[in-house]
Every structure is written in C-alpha cells, then in structure tokens.
Amino acid sequence: MTIRRPEDFQHHFAQLPDIKLHYVREGSGPAIVLCHGWPGFWWEWHMNIGPLAENFDVIVPDMRGYGESEKPPLDQIQLFHIDRVVDDWAHLLDHLGIDRAYMVGHDYAALGLHKFVRKYRDRVIKAAIFDPIVPGFESRYLSAAHFPESWYSQFHQLDMAVDLVSSSRQATKIYFKHFLSHWSYNKNLFTEEELEIYTDNFVKPGNIHGGFNFYRANLSLSSRPWTELDRTISDVPVTFIQGMGDTVVPSVWTDLVASWYNNYTIEYVPDGGHFIMREKPDYINRRLKEAFLGATQ
C-alpha cells in the first residue's frame, strides 16, 4: 500500500490570540475542517484529505499540544482543557477568513465538536462526528465496568507516565501501537510505515506530555468537561458514524445522543472500529460528501 507521508502535504501555521497552530490545507470549494483525536495528530486523516479536496477546501489542524502545533506550558493543565481547543478552531476560521465550515471530529474532537456546535452555532454548516462523546459519557467511560478499556486515562494522570512512555523510541512505539491496534476492528490494520510515522510524531518534544495533559484536564476523576451550554439541545444537522467494533466508545452508548440533539442521524459500521476514517476511508469520504453536499459522489 502506498501512502501519502506527512512531507507530501502542504503545511501552514496560524498565529492565533494565545497559541500557534499547525495545519494542512488542500483543495478548493466549501471549507471542511477535519479535527483529530488521541492517539493522533493531523495525519490521522491522510487517507481522506486528497479525496475530500476534490470537493472541499480541506483544513486539517493539529490541536494545541499535538503534532507541530505549539505546546502551552506543560505544567499548566488548564491550558489543555477542550474548551480552549474549541476557541482555537473558531480563531483559526477567523485567521483564514472563513465564516462557516463543515466540521468533522473524531475522539477528543468529538467532545470538542459537541461544544463547538453550541458555542459557535453560526460557524457550522453541518457536522459529522465519529464516536459520539456527549454529557453522560464520562460516568460510563470512567466506571469500574469500563476500566479494562479506560485504564490509560488514569495512567496519564501520573507524572511517571510521560517518563515511561518517552523513555525510548521503542517504548513510545510499543505504547501507541497498542492503541492503534487494539482499538481497530482489524488488529493488523496499521502498516509498519504508518506506525513509524506515528512514532516519529510522538517522540517530538512535548507531544507525549501534551496529549496526556488532555486526559488530566478533561477526563480525570475530578475534571469538569461540560459547561451549562454543553447541556443544551443542538439543532445543528449532525451525522454520527459509529464503528460497531469500537471498544473505547461502545455503540450502545449512542443512546445518550437523543438527549442533546434534535437534527441528527446515526450510522453503524459493523466491521469498523475506533479509527473509522482509516479503516473505511472510501466509505467515510463518500458519506461525508453525501451528508454535506447532498449528492452521491
């Protein structure tokens, strides 16, 4: 399989009010913003950017603390709260002179988009969210019954976690390979070349710590991920796509969506896992074009 490596894309930086974000941009047409999660960075969309660029102005940012984006002071955990990321996305649209965009999010960006479609309702044309994360998720995610899948979120709270995972390149690769493999429907999905690219990313200064800080700020036992606004009903048209083999956000948890949205659809992919945009790229590319442009592509 031939893949587009990170160096095969056009890279840009935006100086926002309190952070410098890296992003990749390609194509023309209406703006679509692809937002990544953990363990990831902008390149998790490498199989989607080119095909979507045939119809869209594709913008793919690294969140603060990830990839090539600036790292806030790593000892200031509050600067890694997802509310900051939501404002970063709005400021990035401002920087690019874009009034409204199609928004797509996965994993942590699913949590972020739940907030974004409420705080910045007028900036969103439509949204697509893979693995919905909504109020009520956290109690299930952090429950004893789910601990075999969520243990790492509490491991990330420990100072030694960064030291252990970054102790060598091999340790970094082993750690992130576990999640990329375990959370995929096909446990052998990611190629050796892809695993090396992910490892290249995470061994860069601050990238492991920055990602772990998202768990400290948003998914610790004492964090407060939701605001009062987050607990209102949204009328934004949203397409939720859920892999039936996703163990991080089980498909049975989609029952929570109805409490917070009134204009949505949920699609279930039987042989899909957590990384649905990598596992089923042709399906995702087609469905995003259909959901957003209203025509079969």
Given a cut of 50, is residue 37 above it in pLDDT?
yes
Given a cut of 80, is residue 54 above it in pLDDT?
yes
Q: How far apart are CA 122 and CA 44, in angstroms?
A: 27
Give residue-wise pLDDT tens across range 130-159. Answer: 999 999 999 999 999 999 999 999 999 999
Given a cut of 50, is residue 9 above it in pLDDT?
yes
- Tell me what pLDDT residue 92 has: 98
Q: In which band, very low, low, confident or very high, does the pLDDT at 296 lie, cut at 50, 70 and 90?
A: very low
Q: How far apart are CA 233 and CA 1, in angstroms?
A: 43
Given a cut of 80, is residue 262 above it in pLDDT?
yes
- Nearest Cα neighbor of 275 from 44, 23, 108 is 44
Q: Which residues contact 296 (CB under 8 A, 6 or more apart)?
A: 286, 290
Q: What is the mean pLDDT of residues 268-295?
A: 95
Do the bridges between strand 11-15 and strand 238-243 make them parallel or antiparallel, or are there none, so unpaired? Answer: unpaired
Given a cut of 90, is residue 36 above it in pLDDT?
yes
Angle (CA) 102 229 77, round 5°? 85
Architecture category of domain 9-221+229-293 in CATH: 3-Layer(aba) Sandwich (3.40)
Given a cut of 60, is residue 248 above it in pLDDT?
yes
Cβ atoms of 69 and 61 closer than 8 Å: yes
Q: In which band, very low, low, confident or very high, does the pLDDT at 297 lie, cut at 50, 70 and 90?
A: very low
What is the identity of the amino acid at 72? P
Give residue-wise pLDDT tens across range 224-240. Answer: 999 999 999 999 999 99
Where along the chain do its domains lie? 9-221+229-293
**CB 142: neighbour CB atoms within 10 A?**
16
Cβ atoms of 274 and 250 closer than 8 Å: no
Given a cut of 90, is residue 29 above it in pLDDT?
yes
Q: How far apart are CA 113 and CA 116, in angstroms?
A: 5
Helices 169-182 + 192-202 axis angle, to 10? 120
Phi first, then psi, for residue 57 (nearest 5°) are -85, 100
Q: What is the mean pLDDT of residues 270-295?
A: 95
Q: How far is CA 278 from CA 36, 179, 232, 275, in A?
A: 12, 14, 32, 6
Cβ atoms of 281 and 46 closer than 8 Å: no
DSSP label of 274: S
- Tell me what pLDDT residue 295 has: 58
- Tell me what pLDDT residue 139 has: 92
Share of the chain above pLDDT 90, in %: 96
DSSP characters for 245-273?
A: T-SSS-GGGGGGGGGTBSSEEEEEETT--
Q: In which band, very low, low, confident or very high, does the pLDDT at 221 lie, cut at 50, 70 and 90?
A: confident
